[in-house]
Amino acid sequence: MPFHAHKLPNGLQLIGETSPSMKSVAVGFFVRTGSRDETPAESGVSHFLEHMMFKGTPRRSADAVNLDFDRIGASYNAYTSEENTVYYAALLPEYLPKGIEILADILRPSLRQGDFDGEKKVILEEIDMYEDQPGSVAWDRARRIYYDTHPLGNSVLGTKESVGALTREQMQAYFTRRYAANNIVVSVAGNFDWNEFVALISAACSGWNTDKVGRKNRTEWTNASGLHLLTRAKVQQEYVMFMCGGPPAHSKMRYAADTLALAVGDDSGSRLYWALVDPGHADSADCSYVENDGTGAVYVSITCEPGNTAGNIARATDVLRAVQKGGITEAELQQAKSKILSRVVRGSERPMGRMQAIASAWSYTGEYRDVDTELANFEAVTLKAVRAYLDAYPIDQNTVVAFGPLAKLKGARAQSDSKAEPKAKARSTSKPKAKPKEKVKAKRR
């Protein structure tokens, strides 16, 4: 699959991977901005702005945006994370010109005061909705505690106070600064003509502004600060998060970290599964490696009955200590690699998967990695490489956060920092896995 790259004079980066055998094409605009790029006064603006992109442009009303996508049969959406805001569509090749025209148009929104005021109410309702989901609350609180002063701990949604105080003028200034052409990567994959694609993007986006863009606090972060107990009485289960440092996205150690995380905490046949889930001690126990710009992290997530919490923290701690001391076996390594290789291959069979994969690699490293290269990088992971990774990023030095109905945690092997959660409203008893990254999608209205 040939790879192409081109940069417009205004700094807009275009990348693409052509595959004529595919029956569709996927295109996405990756804006390198998210909650970690916000000031405290702007908290939540990236996600709010994502909503506003679909509220209309000088050329289209909000209804016209959705109708125009629907007329060409596009599967389209957007999401906001700590580091990126992404707008994408998957469609048939003959509709790519129209799809690009619509996406480029909504990325230069009107940001009308009336739309801003109306959508603010939607965002505030969404914050309330997420506060009613214990898994989301546990994840958000754990990240805040672990990252402390690092901006990766910023909430993607923001707070009711920050969003409530946000003005349209603040949003406009943020948009002008962060949505500059030289802070955006346009990625495409599937059945398309590269020269035509460059011409289409040039026609639609050459007039976009440039600005001084960048990102602060790109240093590695780790914060092993013991056990924190957060109490919300109406939650049915206990949600436990372990968080420790990991290699950044540009590090070659990311392959060993990803492989080890699967061996430790895949949802079947892993160390945590056999120690916690199979015996019935926990409903779920997962481990994930997360790559970020300048730093990384490893998360272990457990959901269980409140009475099993202390024992499960001890069991998970024992698993992580054993892995840190002795690593994993060759059989565990090969099993984890087989699962990852299957994941990479299956994801590459869809244009959407390749479009996202090449954009992610380029955004973090400025490199293109084809499927064979990615497979080879995982194949090259050895027990020696896993040992080197563990020596650099100990997996047993964790910040642990427990969220749920427990007011006390007896027998846990760490000092408890018990805090009551205000305004307990939780009703959901869902059991989400550890999230690789916080991603919030805008709801189409």
Domain 3-205 has CATH 3.30.830.10: yes
The enclosing H or E element of 18 equals strand 13-18
Buried b (16+ CB within 10 A) or exposed e, 7-45: ebebbbbbbbbbbeebebbbbbbbbbbbbbbbeeebbbb
Average the pLDDT over 161-185 and give the result: 97
What is the predicted pLDDT for the residue at 407? 93
Cα separation, 22 vs 100, whole angstroms: 19
Beta-carbon neighbour count of residue 100 at 10 Å? Answer: 24
What tens digit of pLDDT does each residue of 211-243 get? 999 888 888 998 877 999 999 999 999 999 999
Radius of gyration of the chain (CA): 22
Predicted local confidence at residue 434, as pLDDT: 35
At 344 the pLDDT is 93
Looking at the DSSP bridge assignments, the partners of residue 418 are: 229
DSSP β-bridge partners for residue 188: 16, 27
Tokens 């001391």 belong to 325
The pLDDT of residue 323: 98
Q: What is the value of pTM for the model shown?
A: 0.90
Residue 10 confidence class, pLDDT cut points 50, 70, 90:
very high
Angle between helices 330-348 and 383-392 (to 10 degrees): 90
User: What band does 440 get if pLDDT is binned at 50, 70 and 90?
Assistant: low
The model's pLDDT over 66-85, given as tens digits with 9 standing for 90+, comes to 999 999 999 999 999 999 99
Dist CA 216 CA 199 (whole Å): 34
User: What is residue 411's predicted lDDT score, i.e. its pLDDT?
Assistant: 62
pLDDT tens by residue, 115-158: 999 999 999 999 999 999 999 999 999 999 999 999 999 999 99
The partner residues of 230 in beta bridges, in order of sequence, read 403, 419
CATH topology (fold) of 226-441 = Cytochrome Bc1 Complex; Chain A, domain 1 (3.30.830)
- Tens of pLDDT along 346-357? 989 999 999 999
423 pLDDT higher than 80: no
pLDDT above 50: residue 418? no
Q: Where along the chain do its domains lie?
A: 3-205, 226-441
**148 within 8 A of 223, measured Cβ to Cβ:** yes
How far is residue 156's CA from residue 126's CA, in Å, rounded to a whole number? 12
Q: pLDDT value at position 1?
A: 80
CA 335 to centroid of chain Cα atoms:
25
Q: Which tokens hold the place of 396? A: 């047993």
Same CATH topology for 3-205 and 226-441?
A: yes
pLDDT of residue 22: 94
Q: Judge whether 211 and 176 are in contact, CB under 8 Å.
A: yes
Average pLDDT over all residues of the chain: 91
pLDDT at 219: 87
Q: What is the pLDDT of residues 403-413, one digit of tens each?
A: 999 999 876 54
